[in-house]
């Protein structure tokens, strides 16, 4: 399930790296409605997975300057999604009771929140990322373990995507699955854009993600997990959220 949140903007600015602040806002809202559920999700989750993700903030009028997003009067949109109905119910209730988003003292008053209709997930779907996709593999560097962030061109990309989805599926549904999926990136889009990577700062670390449309084929159950809980890693920090790719992909403010 997922929510679409439409909010009002005034003349203000927020840091360009706001993902961690949004994540903190989500947990605060969950705690307001159900402290036990918020604690479970933060401390344990579903075998370590939080099973939720959210999009970047989409502003009607904004531009980037000196490491900040300068926002003008208008509207914005934000999407949040989860495999857990408890998550959506608690977050929805909190937003209804306190209709605003707060980021470092900047308030966005919420105009509308609604549960979106769920698309029929089949064995072939076309998605576009609305927050960067993070995929990595562990590597050893001078005796220390670190992570190598992958792009669609990397050999281990498909295996890493599949392994992550299978673990999420097993963690949430409590059963094993042997199926797989295959992601076919829109190479024409990637060639036109030239650069699809984004470097995002989360507290004192940097995370590298990619943004591109793709066709995914394979098990609908795994595809649904990716659609609702996010593809790739660090979903609860606002990574790996997708929307169904239509002919018209604007947000229609």
Number of Cα atoms under 13 Å in the Cβ half of residue 152 = 21
- Which residue, among 80, 70, 63, has the nearest Cα to 237 in the 3D structure? 80
Positions marked active-site = 27, 42
Question: What is the CB neighbour count within 10 angstroms for residue 15?
Answer: 15
Q: How far apart are CA 44 and CA 50, in angstroms?
A: 8
- Which residue, among 9, 2, 246, has the nearest Cα to 113 in the 3D structure? 2
CB 130 within 8 A of CB 242: yes
Phi, psi of 134, deg, nearest 5: -110, 120
Work out the angle at residue 53's Cα, subtended by the Cα atoms of residues 198 and 135, and round it to the nearest 5 degrees: 45
């Amino acid at each position: 399930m997922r929510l679409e949140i439409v909010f009002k903007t005034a003349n203000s600015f927020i840091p360009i790296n706001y993902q961690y602040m949004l994540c903190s806002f989500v947990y605060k809202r969950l705690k307001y409605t159900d402290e036990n559920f918020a604690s479970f999700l933060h401390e344990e989750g579903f075998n370590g997975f939080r099973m939720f993700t959210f999009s970047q903030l989409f502003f009607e009028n904004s531009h980037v300057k000196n490491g900040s997003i300068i926002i003008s009067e208008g509207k914005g949109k934000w999407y949040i999604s989860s495999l857990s109905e408890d998550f959506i119910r608690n977050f929805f209730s909190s937003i209804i009771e306190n209709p605003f988003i707060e980021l470092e003292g900047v308030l966005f008053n919420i105009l509308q929140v609604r549960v979106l209709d769920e698309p029929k997930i089949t064995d072939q779907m076309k998605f576009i990322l609305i927050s960067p996709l993070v995929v990595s593999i562990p590597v050893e560097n001078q005796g220390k373990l670190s992570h190598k962030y992958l792009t669609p061109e990397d050999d281990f990309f498909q295996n890493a995507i599949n392994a992550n989805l299978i673990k999420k599926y097993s963690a949430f549904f409590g059963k094993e699955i042997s199926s797989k999926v295959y992601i076919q990136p829109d190479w024409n889009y990637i060639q036109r854009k030239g650069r699809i990577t984004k470097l995002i700062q989360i507290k004192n670390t940097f995370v590298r993600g990619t943004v591109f449309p793709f066709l995914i084929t394979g098990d609908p159950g795994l595809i649904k997990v990716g659609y609702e809980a996010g593809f790739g890693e660090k979903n609860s920090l606002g990574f790996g959220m997708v929307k169904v790719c239509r002919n018209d992909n604007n947000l229609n403010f």
